[in-house]
Each structure stands twice: as C-alpha cells, then as structure tokens.
Amino acid sequence: MKKLILVFTTVALAAASAANKYTVTLFQPSVINGTELKPGEYRVEVDGDKAVFKQGKKIAEATIRTQDVDKKFASNTVRYIDGSRVQEIHLGGTHTKLIFDTPAAEAANGTK
C-alpha cells in the first residue's frame, strides 16, 4: 500500500511540474524585463509569480501575473507594448495568459 501511495504521489508531482512548462516561439526581437531575446523557440517555466525564458544558455526572468479566461486559446499569442516589450502571452491549448508586470518607474513615466 505504501508503494502505491508513493507511485501516485510521484506521478502527481510530475504532472503538476509539467503543467508549469510551456514552449513559446518569438517571431521578432522581444524584450523581457529588460533582456532582449532573439526570435526563436523558448522554454518558459512558470513558478508562482515568476516566468523564466530559456533557450540554450540565454535566460530571461520576469515577474508575472497569471489570469485564467473562460475560453481556451487556440494558439500561443504574444502581445507587445512599445513594439518589442512583451506585455502578455496567451498560452495555446490553455485558459491561461501571462501578464508581465510593468516596472513602477516605467509606468509612472510612460516609457520603456
């Protein structure tokens, strides 16, 4: 019985951790929290209010909010502000969007 519980716990933890990893393709140069990322495919790991973008050794981290919507997104969509700064990412196949926080100084000044 203990082995069965251990197996179910392990599977549940693996499933929970897999639910926080996504693949997002950026089709243009994009700025995440001041870090410019080149176009390409990135692995995005979401942990609470943090999103980490990884492609090889290139890493960008940002503070985010997640928001669930009523309808599933058909595909990944990246919304930009100021041409290259990522504002939101709608995660295809989910009800979740990632909303990137605007630093207070930028919000006050209305600048990048």
What does the pLDDT look like over 13-49, one tens digit per residue? 555 554 499 999 999 999 999 999 999 999 999 999 9
DSSP string, 41-82: EEEEEEETTEEEEEETTEEEEEEEEEEE-SS-BSS-EEEEET
Task: Tell me if 7 is assigned to some domain.
Answer: no
Distance CA 65, CA 97 (A): 8
Going by C-alpha positions, the residue among 108, 96, 107 that lies closest to residue 70 is 96
Domain count, the chain: 1
Task: Tell me if 10 is assigned to some domain.
Answer: no
Quick one: pLDDT at residue 101? 86
Task: Tell me if 15 is assigned to some domain.
Answer: no
Q: Which domain holds residue 43?
A: 21-109
* Of 94 and 110, the one with more pLDDT: 94
* Of 58 and 77, the one with more pLDDT: 77
Distance CA 96, CA 69 (A): 6
Q: Is the pLDDT of residue 112 over 50?
A: no
Task: Tell me if 86 is assigned to some domain.
Answer: yes
Which of the four pLDDT bands, split at 50, 70 and 90, describes residue 9? low
Task: Tell me if 35 is assigned to some domain.
Answer: yes
